[in-house]
Amino acid sequence: MTACRCSARRTTRRPAAERVGADTVAVAGSGALGDHGLRRLAWSLEGLPVDLLVAPGLTDVAGPRVAIRPVDGVPLLQVDAPQFTGWRRVAKGAFDRVLASTTLLVLAVPLALVALAVRLTSSGPACYRQTRVGRGGRTFRIWKFRTMHVGADQIQHDMTHNDADGVLFKLRADPRVTRLGRVLRRWSIDELPQLWNVVCGDMSLVGPRPPVPAEVERYAEDVHRRLLVKPGLTGLWQVSGRSNLSWEECVRLDLRYVENWSVTLDIVIMARTITAVLRADGAY
Please tell me what DSSP assigns to residue 148: B
Taking 3-state DSSP, the helix, strand and coil percentages for the chain, each rounded to the nearest 5, stand at 45, 15, 35
Q: What is the pLDDT of residue 36?
A: 76
Length of the chain: 284
Roughly how many angstroms between the first and final C-alpha of the chain, as a whole number? 39
Per-residue HEC secondary structure of the chain comes to: CCEEECECCECCCHHHHHHHCCCEEEECCCCCCHHHHHHHHHHHCCCCCCEEEECCCCCCCCHHHEEEEEECCEEEEEECCCCCCCHHHHHHHHHHHHHHHHHHHHCHHHHHHHHHHHHHHCCCCCEEEEEEECHHHCEEEEEEECCECCCHHHHHHHCCCCCCCCCCCCCCCCCCECHHHHHHHHCCHHHCCHHHHHHHCCCEEECCCCCCHHHHCCCCCHHHHHHHCCCEEECCCHHHCHHHCCHHHHHHHHHHHHHHCCHHHHHHHHHHHHHHHHHCCCCC
Q: Tell me the pLDDT tens digit for each residue of 1-51.
A: 554 544 444 444 446 777 788 888 887 765 667 767 777 887 788 778 888
Q: What is the pLDDT of residue 19?
A: 77
Q: Tell me the pLDDT tens digit for each residue of 247-279.
A: 888 989 999 899 888 888 999 999 999 988 888
Q: What is the pLDDT of residue 2?
A: 52
Query: With 50 as the cut, is the pLDDT of residue 148 above it?
Result: yes
Tell me the mean pLDDT in the region 118-126: 94
> What distance in Å separates the CA atoms of residue 193 and residue 111, rounded to the nearest whole number?
8
Q: What is the pLDDT of residue 10?
A: 43
Query: With 90 as the cut, is the pLDDT of residue 86 above it?
Result: no
Q: What is the pLDDT of residue 192?
A: 97
Q: What is the pLDDT of residue 29?
A: 62
Q: Indicate the pLDDT class of residue 238, thresholds 50, 70 and 90.
A: confident
Query: With 70 as the cut, is the pLDDT of residue 233 above it?
Result: yes
Query: With 60 as the cut, is the pLDDT of residue 198 above it?
Result: yes
Helix axes 87-106, 108-121, angle to 10 degrees: 70
> Higher confidence at residue 95 or residue 151?
95
Q: What is the pLDDT of residue 161?
A: 55
83 with 54: CB under 8 angstroms? Answer: no
Q: What is the pLDDT of residue 202?
A: 96
- pLDDT above 70 covers a percentage of the chain that reads 76
> What distance in Å separates the CA atoms of residue 227 and residue 138, rounded to the nearest whole number?
9
> Higher confidence at residue 131 or residue 168?
131
Query: With 60 as the cut, is the pLDDT of residue 142 above it?
Result: yes
Q: Tell me the pLDDT tens digit for each residue of 213-222.
A: 999 999 988 8
> What distance in Å separates the CA atoms of residue 122 and residue 152, rounded to the nearest whole number?
13
> Higher confidence at residue 51 or residue 69?
51
Query: What is the Cα 2 distance to its own chain's centre?
Result: 30
Tell me the mean pLDDT in the region 110-135: 96
Instruction: Name the average pLDDT for the chain.
Output: 82
